[in-house]
Amino acid sequence: MFKKIIVMVVVLLWFSSAFGAHPLITDDAGTQGRKKFQIEVNSEFSYDKEKKFSEDTGDWVTEKTTGGEIATNLSYGVDDYTDIVIGLPYQWSEVKENDIVASDEDGVSDMSMEMKWRFYEKDGLNFALKPGVTLPTGDDERGLGSGRTTYSMVFIATKEISPAAFHLNFGYKRNDNKVDERRDIWHASFASDVEVVKNLEAVANIGVERNHTKTSHTQPAFILGGLIYSVSENLDIDLGVKGGLNNAEADYTILAGIARRF
């Protein structure tokens, strides 16, 4: 745990130099602008507890899962309508069964590369497409990656009605993998943000995604609330709490991030 904290502090200090929609899960249709950069460091810390049947013992066990992620993302505006985004996450996870550690792993996960293309803009309504790919840079045998290249596409709609904005995402992921997960994953989510006072936004989010686990037919669903504070024109910090709406989603997740653009 001490090593994980040190890694998080180093990453935050190195990149604390944004602007973004975190802690929202739902993306917005905005782009950086021609030749502009953005660096984000986003973190999450999750907790989940549930009863499961153990085939090893033939009895029910209480399983507690704690984990987290620190994701560093770099965005570059190719032009006013197109961004290139590269992300590299560091993850950790610990699973206990009846308070006995069953697994404890941490390390770099799969690198992502995405392009956001805003193809429509009129009267505060924006549409964008976001194709993406992940590369198997994580160790799939330790649960830190898929083991294969995956592909995704997200449709993004944003409607601005000052002082608020509303965002809708529909996504599909071809989840090729070596870890016996489903290969066809869909995602749908809706979010809104509103400026409550100068430089402070309140955000809300709800969404659902197809379960990656083949044997489960319960789709993970979540609800989220948070705040984004603009320290300056180009520097934002944020904090959010995500709660699970069913047993397939983690009980709760704390999200925090910092973003800077230049």
pLDDT, one tens digit per residue, over 69-100 is 999 999 999 999 999 999 999 999 999 999 89
How confident is the model at residue 17, as a pLDDT? 33
Task: Please state the φ and ψ torsions of residue 142, each to the nearest 5 degrees.
Answer: -105, 10
Based on the number of CB atoms within 10 Å of its own CB, is 5 exposed (0-12), middle (13-18) or buried (19 or more)? exposed
Residue 73 CA to residue 29 CA, distance in Å, equals: 17
CATH at residue 144: 2.40.160.40
Task: Compute the distance between CA of residue 180 and CA of residue 200 in angstroms, rounded to an integer.
Answer: 43
- Domain hosting 248: range is 2-261
Q: By three-state DSSP, how is residue 8 classified?
A: helix
What is the rounded CA–CA span in Å between residue 106 and residue 139? 10
Give the per-residue pLDDT at 14: 37
Q: Structural domain tally of the chain? A: 1
In contact, 100 and 63? CB cutoff 8 Å: no
Name residues of the chain where pLDDT drops below 50. 1-20
Q: Give the H/E segment covering residue 76.
A: strand 59-79
Q: What is the pLDDT of residues 103-143, one digit of tens each?
A: 999 999 999 999 999 999 999 999 999 999 999 999 999 99
HSE at residue 226, side-chain half, CA atoms within 13 A, is 26
Determine contact, residues 193/218, Cβ cutoff 8 Å. Answer: no
How many other CB atoms are there within 10 angstroms of residue 246's CB atom? 11
Mean pLDDT score across all residues of the chain: 91
pLDDT value of residue 192? 97
Per the DSSP assignment, residues forming a β-bridge with 166 are 159, 192
- In the prediction, which pLDDT does 52 show? 82
